[in-house]
Every structure is written in C-alpha cells, then in structure tokens.
C-alpha cells in the first residue's frame, strides 16, 4: 500500500494541479470578457472538462519529455541544439494534444448538437498558439525544474548511499583485519598445514574469498541474495573450521529467493555480531539459523552472552538500517527475548524498487 502511494503520488498531484489551474484560468478569461465570475451552466461545465483533460495531458506529456531530455535517451545530446529540439518537441506535443483534445471534441459537440456554428479559423489558430505558449511555460518553469531537482536529489541520495556502503565495507574490513581475527585465522591455518594440507588450502582460499568479497562490495548498492550467501558461506567455513561444533549454522534459503537483493555484506555482518557477542562451548553451542520468512531474510541465534562481556556500539545494525532507508519503507526488524536474538532483513525486488522511484 505504501509503495502504491509513492508510485501514484506524482500523477495525483498532476490531476489536482490541472483541476485547480483549469478553474483559475477559465474564470480569469470569463472575468475579462464578462466582467464577472458568477457564471455556470452546462456549456461551461463541458468546456471546463475539456480544458481539464487538455491541461492534464499537457502535464503528463511534459513529464515524459522532461525525463527523456534529462535522464533518458535524449540526455546524451548537448549544447544549444538540445534546448532547441526540446522546445520543438514541447510545441509539437501541445499542437497534437490541442487538435485531439480541443478541436476534435468541439467538432463532435457541434455535430451532435446539429448546429450551423463553425469554429472560426482565427479561433483555431489562436488556440494552437495559446496552447503552445502555455505548454512551454508549464514545461520550463514547472516540470523541467521539478525534474532537475528530483535528479539532483537522486544523485545526492546515491552519494549518501555510497558513503554508507564504504562505511560498511570499512567496518567489515576493520573487524577482519583485527589482530585477533588474523592471529586466530593464521593459527588455524598453521595447525592445518601439517595435519591436513588440503583443508589448509581450502581454508586459505575461503579466507581470501572473504577479503575479496568485502573489497568488491564498496561500489555496489545492492547484491543478489545468492551473492551474499556466497560470502556468508566462505565466512561460515572459517568459523566452523575454527570453532568446530561449538558454533553451528543452519542455512535454509529456497532457490526462489536467490534473485532478491539486499545491501552488500549485511548478512556477513550479522553473523559476525552473533559470534562476537555470544559465547559457545561443546555443551552449549551457539546455534545460528539463516532462513527466509515473508520476503525477509532472518538471522536468528540462541542468546548466551559472553561472560567477559562485549561492548555493543550497534554501528553494524545502524549502518544496515541506514542503507535500507534509501531503497524501501520497510524496516530492519530486531527482536530479542530471553532465548533468542533475531534480525529480519527485507529482501528487495529490484524491478519493484525501480518502479517505485521512477
């Protein structure tokens, strides 16, 4: 419901603007010709309806033209030729709309009314000129400026999102470059080299995969769940090799959800937080579940805080939530009770996201 309001809000605003503009302009002309605005009859109602649909068509047409010249195919053009071609497109569009929505309806009305009154050529030409001038006015002073501001807002939004992505990448890298993590990883690798060289090679490749994925994630806004699970599986392998059965993972993600997207490294950050803040032993293993529920990716772990205590800055969750705010109105859900800690990440359909912000 919220997405539908976002999608249709610009059109509803155009309808309201067209209705208000129609009434104001029409009765301004009535006042000029009649000296009063207290006039209303069936003929006036018909003219108001025709004028409303004409203005609404002008607004919709202008929005398409503006998008085409600011962010669409014709945005590749540059220089004065682009401005000239843009103005010509607006005029041609207004003339066509004037013919279809003004001239044709009036001819039909006169024909159905079986009247001998004809539209004077001067009046038709004046209608074309006025509609062209009005269309150019609304285009350059209303629609084009609105589209330019919207485009600037999108650029600013993209830059802010990129900063959040870099911040998340830096946070993940800081955690992985943490001396304890490196020491523990190298210690595990060292013990495997003599005991199981093949497993040592696999461990090293998975460690390299984690770093590669973190370094590659900085310039991406969203990644498919399949790609995020690839990073998570590499991280899970490292943790299982290090902790053994003390940390247990259960991944249950259906193939139908793998195309859905989420901010990069978000799943890996949640796994990292679960291990960081909870203790684990052979008798009381840390159990982490990864599954989907109602288009959300859920990470759930049993709650058993470390005895030594770990200060939580909540930077990771705040960063994930901030990045989601750029794409959806859905929120990252965090729930905790005496037994479990759960985080639910919305899984985004890219096509639906694009239509919501178009």
If asked whether residues 116 and 198 sit together in one domain, one would say no
Please state the domain count of the chain: 2
Contact present, 265 and 236 (Cβ < 8 Å): no
Q: Both 84 and 185 in a single domain?
A: no
Residue 30 and residue 73 in one domain: yes
Residues 263 and 302 in one domain: yes
Q: CA neighbours within 13 Å on the CB side: how many for 227?
A: 18
Claim to verify: residue 148 and residue 233 sit in the same structural domain: no
Reduce the DSSP state of residue 296 to 3 states and report it: strand
Q: Are residues 274 and 219 in the same domain?
A: yes
Rounded percentage of the chain residues whose pLDDT exceeds 90: 23
Beta bridge partners of 276: none
Summarised one tens digit per residue, pLDDT across range 141-150 is 766 666 666 6
202 and 122 both lie in a single domain: no
The DSSP line for 88-114 is HHHHHHHHHHHIIIIIHHHHHHHHHTT
pLDDT for residue 310? 55
Q: Do 355 and 7 meet the contact criterion of CB atoms below 8 Å apart?
A: yes
Give the residue-averaged pLDDT of 112-117: 59
Residue 173 lies in a domain: no
Q: Which of 156, 191, 223 is the last residue of a domain?
A: 156
* Whether residues 140 and 195 fall in one domain: no
Query: For residue 240, what are the domain limits?
Result: 178-356
User: Based on the domain organization, do 32 and 99 belong to the same domain?
Assistant: yes
Does the pLDDT value for residue 4 go beyond 50?
Answer: no
Q: Do both 256 and 352 map to the same domain?
A: yes
């Amino acid at each position: 419901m919220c997405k539908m309001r976002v999608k249709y809000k610009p059109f509803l605003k155009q309808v309201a603007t067209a209705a208000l503009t129609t009434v104001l302009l029409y009765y301004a002309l009535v006042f000029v010709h009649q000296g009063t605005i207290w006039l209303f009859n069936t003929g006036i109602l018909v003219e108001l309806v025709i004028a409303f649909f004409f203005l609404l068509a002008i607004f919709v047409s202008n929005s398409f033209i503006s998008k085409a010249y600011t962010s669409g195919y014709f945005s590749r053009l540059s220089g004065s030729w682009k401005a000239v071609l843009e103005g010509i497109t607006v005029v041609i569009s207004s003339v066509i709309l004037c013919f279809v929505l003004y001239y044709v309806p009036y001819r039909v009305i006169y024909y159905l009314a079986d009247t001998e009154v004809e539209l004077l050529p001067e009046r038709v030409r004046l209608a074309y000129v006025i509609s062209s001038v009005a269309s150019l006015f609304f285009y350059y002073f209303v629609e084009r400026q609105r589209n330019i501001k919207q485009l600037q807002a999108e650029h600013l939004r993209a830059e802010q999102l990129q900063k959040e992505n870099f911040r998340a990448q830096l946070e993940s890298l800081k955690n992985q470059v943490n001396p304890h993590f490196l020491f523990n990883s190298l210690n595990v690798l060292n013990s495997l080299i003599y005991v199981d060289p093949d497993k040592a090679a696999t461990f090293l490749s998975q460690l390299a995969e984690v770093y590669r994925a973190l370094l590659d994630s900085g310039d991406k806004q969203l990644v498919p769940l399949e790609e995020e699970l690839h990073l998570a599986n590499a991280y899970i392998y490292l943790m299982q090799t290090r902790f053994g059965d003390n940390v247990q993972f259960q991944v249950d993600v259906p193939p139908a959800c793998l195309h859905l997207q989420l901010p990069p490294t978000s799943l890996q950050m949640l796994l990292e937080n679960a291990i960081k803040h909870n203790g684990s032993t052979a008798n009381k293993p840390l159990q982490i579940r990864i599954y989907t529920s109602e288009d959300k990716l859920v990470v759930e772990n049993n709650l058993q805080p470390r005895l030594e205590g770990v200060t939580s800055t909540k930077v990771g969750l705040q960063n994930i939530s901030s990045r989601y705010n750029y794409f959806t109105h859905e929120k990252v859900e965090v729930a905790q009770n005496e037994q479990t800690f759960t985080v639910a990440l919305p899984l985004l359909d890219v096509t639906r996201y694009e239509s919501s912000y178009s």
